[in-house]
Homo-oligomer: A and B are copies of this chain.
Amino acid sequence: MIEHFALGDKLAGLVGRLVDSYRADDRTHHINRIFVPNRREIIEIVELLLELAYPGYYGRQNLTTHNVGYHVGELLPKLAEKLHRQIDQCLCHERETRGNGDAAPSNGAKNPNQCTLAFLEEIPRIREQLAGDVQAAYDGDPAAVHTDEVILAYPGVLAVTVYRFAHALHAMGVPLMPRIMTEWAHTHTGVDIHPGATIGRNFFIDHATGVVIGETAEIGDNVKLYQGVTLGAMSFPKDERGQLIRGHKRHPTVEENVTIYANATILGGNTRVGRNGIINGSVFLTGSVPPDCTVSLSAPALTVRKRRPRKNRESEAVVDGPQE
């Protein structure tokens, strides 16, 4: 038997030293402060949105024309109440941390009631976009056997779905919550899309893991990305006090009908990939590309050395490069 372990007379001292450490630094505790979004409830909101966006796939199955109205009528008020509470927390948190901390909930310039209703009204429009994204995934992947498979299994579709909802909240000026939503998707898919990014219709990310799309990236219609693609920033200008300047365009623009293959890195707010462009795998790009261009790594950049088999030593022989 493993013996029982108790802290005994050490408990009081340990508690005291830990509570003292909370007092020592205001950045890493949330004590005596009223407003903070609740991540668990925000994840519940995401799950309800998935259930409403893709009825019959997420959550309850066996929906019919006859029962679907009751199903939606049961979910929507639940969603509305959670949404309202979290939007309220996020708006109040923003006011509190800007110094007017005594602001009561529910009375700000951005009104949580209005934001909640406006967001719910947007769900049908967002669903229309999602249908285009689902079709783009099926059309863009020869391994896809059915759009149902795309909805049930493709992480890129999940990441884009959560992004579209988060972006709608971000566009209304709701802080914190949109990022918590997209970071939930990031955890599940390996895709990091900042809710501030602008993304057109019929967007598909194949294989998903490692994709990063920055806050000020702009992406046109019918764009396809592969795993590991970064649309990132190149450098961050600082103000005269040495603080980062926040908010200016730091991430690339990708025009319509562009395809960007695996692990390509495209950086900079002035970088623009023209329409119909193809950026091949592993390309590192920090300047603009005109429309209708293919960008590739220049061959040959590889060295192939023949080793003596079995003994594992390098021989002198040099074999032609493997690039086609």
Contacts and interface: CB of A to CB of B under 8 A. Distances in A.
A115 to B, nearest CB: 11
Given A142-B246, A142-B250, A210-B209, A19 B68 contact: yes
A27 B207 CA distance: 21
A155 B85 CA distance: 25
Interface in A1-41: 2-7, 10-11, 14-22, 24-25, 27-34, 36-39
Tier of interface size on chain A? 35 or more
A301 B304 contact: no
B120 A14 contact: yes
Contact of A27 (B135, B188, B214, B232): B135
* Number of identical monomers bound together in the oligomeric complex: 3
Contacts of A289: 304, 322
A262 B192 contact: no
A52 interface: yes
B25 A152 contact: no
Contacts of A196: 143
Contacts of A15: 69, 72-73, 76
Contacts of A88: 2
Nearest to A31: B63
Contacts of A147: 27
A198 interface: no
Contacts of A165: none
A223 interface: no
Given A28-B127, A68-B22, A176-B149, A5 B55 contact: no
A38 B18 contact: no
B209 A183 contact: no
B295 A309 contact: no
Interface string A216-255: 0000000000111010110010000000111100100000
Contacts of A233: 142
B283 A302 contact: yes
A88 to B, nearest CB: 6
Contact of A24 (B128, B293, B322): B128
B148 A97 contact: yes
Given A28-B54, A301-B301, A2 B292 contact: no
Given A61-B38, A148-B176, A302-B298, A322 B113 contact: no
Given A6-B77, A142-B246, A232-B281, 10 more contacts: A6-B80, A10-B117, A11-B73, A39-B57, A97-B146, A153-B183, A263-B265, A282-B284, A283-B302, A293-B307
19 contacts: A7-B120, A14-B120, A18-B123, A21-B123, A30-B61, A31-B63, A31-B64, A32-B63, A142-B244, A143-B214, A149-B176, A186-B208, A207-B230, A285-B302, A286-B322, A291-B309, A292-B308, A296-B303, A296-B305
